[in-house]
């Protein structure tokens, strides 16, 4: 399947307060964000012309920037509106939305307090992250080589570009072996998350999910926990040992891209997409499209 490169497309990108033709939205090769990963971003989905949990995403973008020691030169309300305007200008009703903020090219070095902070927002068509038939039977995950770092070594609660390097490496390795993704442990050896999605397990009708103390507490994760509890399920957020996976019957991952996707395999462990995984997958899809009313 041919995929258009992301630098050669029709359309518009919101850049520092104005719309720029897609192909002209460029940064210099000596941009600090490129060399030192001083950039933060969000991944959002628009369903039926409305961005799901837009303000929550924008607020997290600002928090991530604060953690990386820079200030976004717009307000939360202005970025919210810019996301809406970019979606409207795209002409799409269902799409992926990518706001990103980064340090510019005024300084190139570890210290870069005087760099200009730039913000861009792009929107593009986004089909299902996994093929529908693959989601229904559950995706296969292997174990990742790299572990999620300690909060003492990285700003783990920021959605920062540099933190995704080990995710890219792990997902590439998994795909080369025929898997859809990889499961990452944290630095202590507990179950953490997939390379770009949070994970949940089911045992005896009860849902268990890793405590988000060294990785992002995903907005989709929070929404699914709320949805599950509204449906009457117990949800426990706790540290999960890898050997516990043998005792779980179901597994699923959650994320803006993955939404709710059942998992059939994590390394040597097997799961069967069951009533809880499949019902949450369906109800989440209805909720984001406003076909399901929640309290």
Q: CATH number, domain at 18?
A: 3.30.470.10
On whether both 166 and 275 belong to a single domain, the answer is yes
Q: What is the pLDDT of residue 1?
A: 40
Buried b or exposed e, range 203-222, using 16+ CB within 10 angstroms: eeeebbbbbbbbbbebbbbe
Residue 273 pLDDT grade (very low, low, confident, very high; cuts 50, 70, 90): very high
Share of the chain above pLDDT 70, in %: 96
Q: What is the pLDDT of residue 246?
A: 98
d(CA 155, CA 8): 33
On whether both 42 and 185 belong to a single domain, the answer is no
User: What does the DSSP assignment read for 67-104?
Assistant: HTT---SS-HHHHHHHHHHHHHHHT-SSEEEEEEEEE-
Q: Which two tokens stand for residue 140?
A: 């296969």
Q: What is the pLDDT of residue 28?
A: 97
pLDDT at 56 over 60: yes
On whether both 81 and 192 belong to a single domain, the answer is no
State the angle between helix axes of 219-230 and 275-288 in degrees (0 to 180), rounded to the nearest 10.
110
**Which of 124, 158, 177 delimits the end of a domain?**
124
Instruction: Tell me the Cα Rg of the chain.
Output: 19
Q: What is the pLDDT of residue 131?
A: 62
Q: What is the pLDDT of residue 290?
A: 87
The CATH code of the domain that includes 215 is 3.20.10.10
Phi and psi torsions of 215, nearest 5°: -155, 170
Count of H-run helices and E-run strands, the chain: 7, 16
Q: What is the pLDDT of residue 2?
A: 52
pLDDT digits (tens, 9 = 90+) for 168-179: 999 999 999 999
Q: Which two tokens stand for residue 171?
A: 């997902």
Range of the domain at 183: 132-288
pLDDT digits (tens, 9 = 90+) for 275-288: 999 999 999 999 99
Task: Note whether residue 3 is domain-resident.
Answer: no
Options 116, 131, 159, 286, the catalytic residue: 159
Q: Which two tokens stand for residue 168?
A: 């890219």
Q: What is the pLDDT of residue 128?
A: 63
**Overall average pLDDT of the 239-263 stretch:** 97
CB 278 within 8 A of CB 262: yes
The reply to whether 63 belongs to the active site is: no
pLDDT digits (tens, 9 = 90+) for 63-90: 999 999 999 999 999 999 999 999 999 9
d(CA 10, CA 4): 10
d(CA 220, CA 201): 16
Share of the chain above pLDDT 90, in %: 93
Domain count of the fold of the chain: 2
On whether both 282 and 137 belong to a single domain, the answer is yes
The pLDDT mean for the chain works out to 95
**Which of 67, 92, 124 delimits the end of a domain?**
124
Task: Note whether residue 268 is domain-resident.
Answer: yes
DSSP H helical ranges for the chain? 32-36, 54-67, 76-90, 132-137, 165-176, 219-230, 275-288
pLDDT digits (tens, 9 = 90+) for 188-219: 999 999 999 999 999 999 999 999 999 999 99
pLDDT digits (tens, 9 = 90+) for 118-130: 999 999 998 765 6
**Overall average pLDDT of the 127-140 stretch:** 74
d(CA 286, CA 185): 31
pLDDT at 132 over 80: no
**Which of 94, 124, 154 delimits the end of a domain?**
124
Task: Note whether residue 5 is domain-resident.
Answer: no
On whether both 139 and 93 belong to a single domain, the answer is no
- Residue 197: name the closest of 178, 231, 174, 177 by CA: 174
On whether both 115 and 200 belong to a single domain, the answer is no
On whether both 59 and 136 belong to a single domain, the answer is no
On whether both 23 and 142 belong to a single domain, the answer is no
pLDDT digits (tens, 9 = 90+) for 20-41: 999 999 999 999 999 999 999 9
**Overall average pLDDT of the 90-110 stretch:** 96
Residue 5 pLDDT grade (very low, low, confident, very high; cuts 50, 70, 90): very high
Q: What is the pLDDT of residue 3?
A: 78
The most distant pair of C-alpha atoms in the chain lies apart, rounded to whole Å, by 57
Q: What is the pLDDT of residue 231?
A: 95
CB 254 within 8 A of CB 221: yes
Q: What is the pLDDT of residue 130?
A: 63
């Amino acid at each position: 399947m041919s995929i258009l490169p992301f630098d050669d497309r029709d359309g518009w990108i919101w850049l520092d307060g104005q719309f720029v033709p897609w192909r002209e939205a460029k940064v210099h090769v000596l941009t600090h964000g490129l060399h030192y990963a001083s950039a933060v971003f969000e991944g959002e989905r628009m369903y039926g012309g409305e961005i799901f949990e837009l303000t929550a995403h924008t607020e997290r973008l600002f928090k991530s920037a604060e953690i990386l020691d820079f200030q976004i030169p717009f307000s939360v309300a202005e970025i919210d509106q810019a996301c809406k305007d970019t979606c409207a200008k795209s002409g799409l009703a269902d799409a992926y939305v990518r706001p990103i903020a980064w340090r510019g090219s005024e300084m190139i070095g570890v210290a870069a307090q005087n760099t200009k902070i730039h913000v861009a927002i792009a929107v593009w068509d986004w089909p299902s992250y996994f093929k529908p038939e693959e989601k229904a039977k559950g995706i296969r995950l292997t174990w990742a080589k790299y572990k999620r770092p300690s909060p003492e070594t990285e700003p783990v609660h920021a959605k920062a570009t540099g933190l995704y390097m080990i995710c890219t490496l792990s997902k590439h390795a998994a795909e080369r072996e025929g898997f859809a993704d990889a499961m990452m442990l944290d630095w202590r050896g507990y179950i953490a998350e997939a390379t770009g999605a949070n994970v949940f397990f089911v045992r005896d009708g009860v849902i268990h999910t890793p405590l988000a103390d060294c990785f992002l507490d995903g907005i989709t994760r929070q929404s699914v926990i709320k949805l599950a509890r509204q449906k009457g399920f117990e949800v426990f957020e706790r540290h999960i040992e890898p050997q516990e996976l043998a005792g779980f019957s179901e597994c699923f991952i959650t994320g803006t891209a993955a939404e709710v996707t059942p998992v059939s395999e994590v390394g040597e462990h097997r799961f069967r997409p069951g009533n809880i995984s499949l019902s949450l997958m369906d109800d989440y899809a209805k909720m984001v499209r406003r076909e399901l009313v929640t309290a």
